[in-house]
């Protein structure tokens, strides 16, 4: 969910800037993409990362790198195209569902890989960081979803009472 959130933030952040002045935002977007990808490539390139670990954290990191490339493509496209076609929105939300599943797998693998901290420390800590980021971003979307649900029926407050004034007959 972390990568899904980054795309979400890139899209909404770019909409604050006039379309013709988004070059600076594209530079910031490229820096964020780099900050996401470089640590993953560093960890996967370490010789310690290929050591034996009970859990397939290395395979999970490879999947995370693939997801990161897809997310970087979405963030660039979403900040350049206006309006976004419905098919692209649908593929973005499908990516979010897959990203949620990948975050869940990362969380499960990390929680069951306590012994890997001794054999593959960088890989374990990268997985731990991804787990925390996934949990925090899932919380972000849960709050956003809750706020969205409260706005579905604008005539009611949080307690379910009708806020609209009574219409005299």
Average pLDDT (87-106) is 94
CA distance linking residue 105 with residue 111, whole number of Å: 10
In a domain, 108, yes or no: yes
Q: What is the mean pLDDT of the chain?
A: 86
Give yes or no for residue 80 having a pLDDT over 80.
Answer: yes
Cβ atoms within 10 Å of 168's Cβ, excluding its own: 4
Q: CB of 59 within 8 A of CB of 116? A: no
pLDDT of the residue at 156: 52
Q: Is residue 167 part of a domain?
A: no
CA distance 65 to 115: 23
Separation between Cα atoms, residue 26 and residue 86, nearest integer Å:
23
What range defines the domain where residue 78 resides?
2-144
For residue 158, what pLDDT is reported?
46
- For 33-54, write each residue's pLDDT tens digit: 999 999 999 998 888 777 777 8
Q: At what angle do helices 121-150 and 86-111 cross, to 10 degrees?
A: 130
Percent share of the chain, pLDDT over 90? 51
How many domains does the structure of the chain reveal? 1
Q: Which is more confidently placed, 98 or 20?
A: 98
Spatial contact of 59 and 112, defined as CB atoms under 8 Å apart = no
Q: Is 75 domain-assigned?
A: yes
Domain assignment present for residue 73? The answer is yes
For the residues 141-159, what does the mean pLDDT come to? 74
Report the SS3 class of residue 72: helix
Query: How many C-beta atoms lie closer than 10 Å to residue 163's C-beta?
Result: 9
In a domain, 15, yes or no: yes
């Amino acid at each position: 969910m972390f990568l899904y959130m980054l795309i979400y933030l890139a899209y909404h952040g770019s909409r604050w800037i006039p379309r013709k002045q988004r070059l600076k935002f594209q530079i910031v977007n490229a820096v964020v993409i780099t900050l996401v990808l470089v640590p993953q490539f560093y960890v996967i390139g370490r010789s310690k990362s290929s050591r034996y670990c009970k859990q397939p954290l290395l395979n999970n990191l490879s999947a995370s790198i693939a997801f990161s490339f897809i997310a970087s493509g979405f963030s660039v496209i979403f900040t350049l195209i206006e309006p976004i076609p419905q098919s692209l929105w649908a593929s973005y939300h499908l990516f979010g569902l897959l990203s949620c599943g990948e975050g869940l797998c990362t969380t499960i693998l990390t929680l069951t890989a306590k012994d890997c901290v001794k054999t593959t420390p960088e890989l374990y800590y990268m997985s731990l960081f991804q787990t925390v980021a996934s949990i925090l971003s899932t919380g972000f979307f849960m709050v956003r979803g809750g706020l969205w649900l409260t706005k579905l029926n604008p005539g009611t407050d949080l307690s379910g009472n009708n806020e609209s004034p009574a219409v005299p007959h």
